[in-house]
A and B are shown apart, each in its own frame.
Chain A
């Protein structure tokens, strides 16, 4: 067993560095490349039943310590995305299909199509801050309904991606687990906005967007800590502002069994190997054999 191997329910990954949804895994070739650059798994761009052009530009604007985006889930629809995914899956890339829909049925349909295309699991995006689907993840009942329906329709593991834009994230996490979620991903972006003071115009085409990057790291760490503390048994995948191996370590200590990176790709693909190298170095130095020796240790320190 290698140092960095990690287990997410029935999914075993060579390393815990996963590509966050919406970031570069839009095409089959893009997914292959991310795997070649060292990722443990790749989450696709969130996909809906029909194609979606996304919001008008600007869809991105930087802030002093992160990015605001209002992409609006642009995607070619599951028909075309499953062809892209199949290209990557055929070559052995561990792909997780990110699913969204405008009805429970749509979630089910998209998840089933991803399964047929050969993905190792699906991640339900019920947390996009600038889309209606984001409302699901703010409501226990809706979360339960969607997760349960998808769970009943596919055999592959179902991961649920949670939003920080709620009063109590642990409550939603427990509800997702109750509905059968095999793992949880936390967090999606935090609602935010930017206005150009010269003209008075909101900058983003959709006006309101989601904040990612270093600015949200403390929020993400807190969310993971709270979910872990609540007693959920399923593994947590941590995401939000991870820019180096120390950040990744912090997420593992808070209780994540794997981590995702998004915004840090602004620094280039090397970020994947850098995080893996840093984690390996840390484990060797502290004579640790497996990541399980780190995961959640912050909870034992209190």
Chain B
């Protein structure tokens, strides 16, 4: 069961600079996955790495959106239609189902696991507001896809770039006041760099927002037995990667401060 199933790559799309979306089919995953859960992707002979699922389509079609940051992700980004990858999962806890009005906040590829949630909102015809932050236009994924959805159904879609090449100049968290002043939300979801999530967490705590965030740690087994992915008392691969605001209380002092490398050593995040 926890063994990579080989599947053929159906299509590879350029999402942004150094970011690709890779399509494949796997019935085991598509029949049970909840947005926010992750899968383990094996690139034979290279590595096996955790990835959020960025599209859950019909006919068991799935996609991952990968940013090339190292050996495994670079290899994954260089794969072509017809090549093979191995997948196992889905693992961990996903997001709760959307409410009637939802705010979704993504930072860079952190938007990936939030995309199926947006797809879900659109299908269910519930309100969805999206904030997306990135470094610059060419490096920020999903802008085109989200604009297309915007035409049909997004209530509001705002982008920030650090260099101002698209949308507002600045950080995605700069938009919180503006958006939250005008609306109230039944659910707020966020995924992205941990410092961004920390800011959103502190902000939400003050205003009692119903926040859920997806976190990252070094994943080896993905099934909760190796202990490499602990954040405080939680294993990211079983109790996470998605956490509700009340659960974050227990890791408040480490959030945005420390992560662990492959050996388990503490690494400062700043």
Contact = CB atoms under 8 A, between A and B. Distances in A.
B84 interface: yes
Nearest to B2: A62
Interface string A41-57: 00001000001111011
A26 interface: yes
B228 A198 contact: no
13 contacts: A22-B226, A23-B227, A51-B264, A53-B263, A54-B262, A57-B42, A59-B226, A61-B4, A62-B1, A76-B265, A81-B264, A198-B6, A199-B44
Given A62-B1, A62-B3, A57 B220 contact: yes
A6 interface: no
Interface centre among B223, B226, B266 (most CB of A within 10 A): B226
Contacts of B235: 24
A61 B225 contact: no
Interface residues of B, number: 35
Interface in A263-298: 263, 265-266, 268
B186 to A, nearest CB: 31
A58 B42 contact: yes
Interface stretch (A27-35, A112-120, A174-182, A247-255): A27-35
A60 interface: yes
Contacts of B220: 54, 57, 59-60, 71, 74
Contacts of B266: 76, 80
A77 interface: yes
A69 B223 CA distance: 12
A81 B263 CA distance: 11
Nearest to B50: A57
Interface of A: 22-27, 29-30, 32-33, 45, 51-54, 56-63, 67, 69, 71, 74-77, 80-81, 194, 196, 198-199, 201, 203, 205, 262-263, 265-266, 268
B227 A58 contact: no
Chain B contact residues, majority secondary structure? loop
B155 to A, nearest CB: 40
B268 interface: no
A76 B2 contact: no
Contact of B221 (A32, A53, A59, A63): A59
A58 B264 contact: no
B227 A30 contact: yes
Contacts of A25: 227
B263 A51 contact: yes
Contacts of A26: 226-228, 230, 264
A262 B221 CA distance: 13
B225 A262 contact: yes
B8 to A, nearest CB: 10
Contact of B4 (A58, A76, A81): A58
Nearest to B218: A74
Nearest to A24: B227
Contacts of A51: 263-265
Interface in B1-42: 1-4, 6, 40, 42
Contact of A266 (B225, B230, B261): B225
Contacts of B3: 61-63, 194, 203
Contacts of A23: 225-227
Given A74-B263, A262-B225, A201 B2 contact: no
A74 B262 contact: yes
Given A57-B48, A74-B228, 20 more contacts: A23-B225, A25-B227, A26-B228, A29-B233, A53-B261, A58-B4, A58-B40, A59-B48, A59-B226, A61-B3, A62-B2, A74-B220, A75-B264, A76-B264, A76-B266, A199-B6, A201-B45, A262-B225, A265-B225, A266-B224
B263 A198 contact: no
